[in-house]
Structure 1
Amino acid sequence: MKLLGITSCPNGIAHTYMAAESLQMAAKAAGHEMKVETRGSVGVENELTDEDIKGAHAIIIAADTNVDRERFQGITIIDATVQEAIKNPKGLIEKAVSSKKSTVSVSATAAQQTNRSARTGVYKHLMNGVSHMIPLVAAGGLIIALSFVFGIEAFKEKGTLAAALMDIGGGAAFAMLVPILSGFIAYSIADRPGLVPGLVGGMLASKIGSGFLGGIIAGFCAGYIALWIKNAVQLPKSLEGLKPMLIIPLFSTLAIGLLMIYVIGTPVKAIMDIMTETLKGMSSANAGLLGLLLGAMMAFDMGGPVNKVAYTFGVGLLGSNVFEPMAAIMAAGMTPPLGLALATYIAKKKFTPEEQEAGKAASVMGISFITEGAIPFAAADPVRVIPSIVIGSAVTGALSMIFNCTLRAPHGGIFVLLIPNAVGNLGMYVVSILAGTVVTAILLSIFKKNINPTNE
């Protein structure tokens, strides 16, 4: 039987492709042909053609973003989340196969509409902003880190390569972080009419000093203001073209601009200043507790909403020259796949041959700061795996903060460690990662049962 699929997560990085692979493997195991279109951060890949759609029995749309359904008239649509496709691909394939081809299901059922509406709320809009911001964060942060190769303060000397790198990474890329975050939050809410007021609101948040928190608030306010104007203002058909080109941009930008200057900006700046000073003045014990919390959040859902909240928190603080949380967050994000990889090596009887092979891939994903490498193991045995990786990452996060480790680049995994001065207290940072990795592996070795009971 010929099946189709579409996968798309808000960030479009790991989950999109893991869901596609899970569906294809499950379909192949059941003896069916399946083509999956992925909509990731690099755009649409393996695009479904009219010929593909014409001969298909059903399509599984495993997406946490909006997907146009008009082209799928005449075939059954199975709605799912990306997590469902990763954790239960067999069930989705069985559901698609058992559906009647004569059932035209372009519009979702009531339950599916409920699931979809849940995916279009605050989290979806926030992640749309974050996903567009991450490439800027990664590029800008790594370029800033490269400027430190010449010395931690070498960029202060005008005309040098270090100064040029700092201008590119800090003066240009990082200067656009908050506007891009805000702009694409508003874009997610109101489509194209929300982009201009969102960008302007984010730029004002940067100028006022209210940082990423002000940018998030500006993005949501701008988006909903633009959406309200779009729906509320009714014009004659001959003047309808003025709405997207003049009326919505003008009045929504004016509204969010005045709100940021006179209402939102100053109090949010005060909150950011208090937060920044509090973090800078933390005692070792308090820093350890924060690291413990951030580390646990990074492992809890392995790239999901809780993980992204922690990551966004760390990235936002980089603009305020607070580098300790980002160090704890990246270290804790590396620990789950590394701990699982180590566990498959030291406790082989606890893992199937397939899991042992997956452990090799997890090790590569771990050193690259791709926490999602732990998902296949967690999906197969969540009761034992999730507590183990949460505890291991919490240990790593706490130790990193206690040791006062800093990180000036928000991504890159182990490869950032090779850049001089990018990581503060490098030795203890490595110790923190190793400690969490070992704790995770030991806990898994204790909690998991042998594959063959006769070996126990």
Structure 2
Amino acid sequence: MKFVAVTSCPTGIAHTYMAAEALEQAGKAAGHEVQVETQGSAGSTPLDPAIIEAADGVIFAADLEVRDKERFAGKPTIDVGVKKAVHDAPGVLNQAIAAVEAGVSTPAATAGGGSKDPATKIDRNASVGTRIRQYLMTGVSYMIPFVAAGGILIALSFMLGGYEVKFVPVDDVINSFDVMSRMSWAALMFQTGAVAFGFLVAVLSGFIAFAIADRPGLVPGFVGGSISVAVGAGFLGGLVSGFVAGFLALWISHWKVPKGVRGIMPVVVIPLLSTFVTGLLMFVVLGRPLASLMDGLSDWLSGLSGSNLILLGLILGAMMGIDLGGPINKVAYTFAVTGLSTAGLTDGATQFRVMATVMGAGMVAPLAMALATTVRKRLFTRQERENGKAAWLLGLSFISEGAIPFAAADPLRVLGASVVGSSVTGGLIMAFDASQRAPHGGIWVIALVDNWLLFLLAVAIGTVISAVLVIIFKGLGSNPALEAEQAADAAAAASAPSTAAQPTA
């Protein structure tokens, strides 16, 4: 059979492309053809209409709404989450085969999807906890590009012009920019990065509200996030304002109004009322308590030292290694980048150490699996050894999801080893006083890491510990997937025709 697929994840980075590769490999192994369109953060190249026309079925492995969905109208279609495709691509393929054999086109395939609006995908039938996580992840997914752009620009400005660059007035950049001056370029990078950082809370709040109420939530969400910054409530205020604005807009959009008013509801009434009430709540009721809470959190973080900082590093490292890009991992990463965004314009030494801790610990799991598959190949299947080659690059690039294929096949042993190694790396980075001003990039932004040799040493130590533990754990227990592969190889060898010379007549 021939299948086409679309993959996407909230951040549009790792899971999008891992799901695509997993589906392609599963199709090849089963004798089917799977061609995938990845709708990631880098954009996408649409599938050729002729390929779609020739396809027997369609697979949507997406956590965001698929763009231009109407292209697949009339085809038997299944719609699963992106993690399902990463963890169980053969099962997803079997589900798609069953849909083709049933010959029924699903509503998802015929619904219009040509809107160019921002994308989100919320399961309205899911539990309250799941929906809250989906709302949060929508906000975080749209915030991360601002974090990366602003954080790396500010970090580069410090590397180019020193930390005094933050004291260069913006008027000097506007009126006295000198193309031949290193300090002018540094000041330009710093001011541009600072502007990008200025959007973070508003974007987070706006897209949380958008996930809840769709487009009516955008205006009150963005305004609420901006108010959070103005009153000093920061990211905590942005989270609260996003939910407040979203549920307000959703409630107002469900009002029963006369026909004559319906036309102006989305343009005037909903944004006007929801924005005003959000502003009232954030300025008068919620702003001051949230600002006090943020100040307390910042003071606590800045006051940590010695063993307390090492303990924080151990905890953050374990969080980065426990679910490899899942909710717990994202909580630790968001904690780091939100601290970095406030510290980027101040001294914030502790926040920079937190960012280094999270980045270093997040590199350990994929690097450990790459090392383990290199050192003890016989403990891993052929597919795992191939995944191990890719995991080198993913780990060096701070993409923890590179270890997911291994964790999906053997969660207890892989995640157990990952938590230990990542935790050790987190504690060592804190102990070594390494700090990082860029929110992403891994080895490629090593020039922006203070005490970078000790940072690399901490990552190497954690990687070796995790790799050794994986090898030990694999050696102690059974590995059904490997045993099945070895049995199949033995059967194939036994049934192969003999190459010995046969006597002639």
Please indicate, yes or no, whether the TM-score normalized by the shorter chain is above 0.5.
yes
| Alignment partners' CA distance in 2, 1:183 and 1:203 | 9
Tell me if the contact between 1:77 and 1:105 (Cα under 8 Å) persists in the aligned partners. Answer: yes
Q: Shift of the alpha carbon at 1:233?
A: 4.7
Structure 1 Cα separation of the partners of residues 36 and 452 of structure 2 = 42
- AA at the equivalent of 2:282: M
Q: Which residue type is aligned with residue 188 of structure 2? A: A
Equivalent-residue separation in structure 2 for 1:253 and 1:87 (angstroms):
42
Q: 1:54 offset after TM fit, Å?
A: 4.6
Verify the 8 A CA contact 1:303 1:372 in the aligned structure 2: yes
Deviations 1:199-226 (A, max 9, x none): 1111111111111111111111111111
The residue type equivalent to 1:10 in the other structure is P
**Partner residue in 2 for 1:423:** 449
Counterpart position of 1:75: 75
One-letter amino acid of the counterpart of residue 83, structure 1: K
TM-score normalised by length of structure 2: 0.82
Indicate if the aligned counterparts of 2:85 and 2:92 stay in contact, CA closer than 8 A.
Answer: yes
2:216 corresponding residue in structure 1:
193
- 2: distance between equivalents of 1:202 and 1:267? 15
- Do the aligned residues in 1 keep the contact of 2:57 with 2:96 (CA within 8 Å)? yes
Task: Confirm or deny that 1:211 pairs with 2:240.
Answer: no
Kindly provide the amino acid, as one letter, of the partner of residue 438 in structure 1.
Answer: V
Q: CA deviation at 1:114?
A: 7.3
| 8 Å Cα contact 1:155-1:164 kept in structure 2 | no
Cα drift, residue 72 of structure 1: 4.7
Tell me the amino acid that sits aligned with residue 222 of structure 1: A
| Counterpart secondary structure, 2:199 | helix
Map of 2:422 onto structure 1: 393
- For residues 22-74 of structure 1, give each alpha carbon's deviation from its aligned partner in whole angstroms, at most 9, with x where no partner exists: 1121112212222323222233433473x555544332222222347666554
CA distance in 2, matches of 1:116, 1:394: 36
Change (3 A) 1:182 1:48: farther
- Residue 279 (1) aligns with residue 305 (2): no
Corresponding residue of 1:62: 61
Give the Cα–Cα distance (whole angstroms) in 1 for the partners of residues 333 and 34 of structure 2. Answer: 34
Structure 1 position 225 matched with structure 2 position 224: no
Deviates more, 1:313-322 or 1:329-338: 313-322
Contact 1:37/1:48, CA 8 A, preserved across alignment: no
The question of 1:139 aligning with 2:161 is answered: no
Alignment of structure 1 residues 84-99 onto 2, 5 Å: 84-99=84-99
Q: Paired residue for 1:304? A: 326
2:473 pairs, out of 425, 440, 447, with: 447
Structure number with greater CO (CA < 8 Å, separation at least 6) is 1
1:83-108 deviation line (CA, Å, top 9, x unaligned):
11111111121222133343233269
Contact map agreement 2:165 2:190 (CA 8 A) in 1: no
Would the aligned equivalents of 1:8 and 1:82 in 2 still touch at CA under 8 Å? yes
User: In the TM superposition, what are the counterparts of 1:242-391 in structure 2 within 5 Å?
Assistant: 242-321=264-343, 322-391=351-420
CA distance in 1, matches of 2:472, 2:19: 30
Whether the 8 Å contact between 2:147 and 2:341 is mirrored in structure 1 is no
Deviates more, 1:87-96 or 1:443-452: 443-452
- Which amino acid is 2:208 matched to? I
Q: What does 1:34-73 align with in structure 2 at a 5 Å threshold?
A: 34-47=34-47, 49=49, 52-67=51-66, 72-73=72-73
Cα offsets for 1:184-205 (capped at 9, x unmatched): 1111111111111111111111
Question: In 2, distance between residues paired with 1:375 and 1:365?
Answer: 11
What letter is aligned with 1:221? Answer: V
> More displaced, 326-335 or 393-402?
393-402
1:260, CA displacement in angstroms?
0.6
How big is the shift at 1:411? 0.7
- Structure 1: stretches of 5+ with no match in the other structure: none
**Cα displacement (A) at 1:281:** 0.9
Aligned residues of 1:296 and 1:394 also touching (Cα < 8 A)? yes
Residue in 2 that maps onto 1:153: 164
- Output one character per residue of 1:94-130: Cα deviation in whole Å (capped at 9) or x when no partner: 222133343233269xxxx979635971111111111
Q: Mind listing any 5+ residue stretches in structure 2 that lack a counterpart? A: 110-121, 173-182, 344-350, 488-505
Q: Deviation at 1:359? A: 2.1
Report the Cα distance in structure 2 between the residues aligned to 1:102 and 1:364, rounded to whole angstroms. Answer: 41
- Alpha carbons of structure 1 residues 120 and 349: separation in structure 2 relative to 1, 3 Å: closer
Corresponding position: 1:122 with 2:121:
no
Letter of the aligned partner of 1:153 in structure 2?
Answer: E
Aligned to 1:412: 441
Question: Which range is displaced more, 397-406 or 59-68?
Answer: 59-68
Which residue is equivalent to 2:178?
none
CA pair 115-199 structure 1, distance change in 2 beyond 3 A:
closer
Contact 1:295-1:395 within 8 A present in 2 as well = yes
Q: 1:176 matched to which residue of 2?
A: 199
Q: Which amino acid aligns with 2:251?
A: W
> What does 1:16-27 align with in structure 2 at a 5 Å threshold?
16-27=16-27
Distance apart, 1:439 and its partner CA? 0.8
Please name the residue that 1:436 is paired with. 462
Equivalent residues of 2:23, 2:89 under 8 A apart: yes
Q: Is the Cα–Cα contact under 8 Å of residues 323 and 406 in structure 1 kept in the other structure?
A: yes
| 1:336 shift after superposition | 0.9
Asked if the contact 2:124–2:131 (Cα under 8 Å) also holds between the matched residues in 1, the reply is no
Q: Percent identity?
A: 49
**Matched-pair contact (CA < 8 Å) for 2:151–2:341:** no
Deviations 1:253-282 (A, max 9, x none): 101111111111111111111111111111
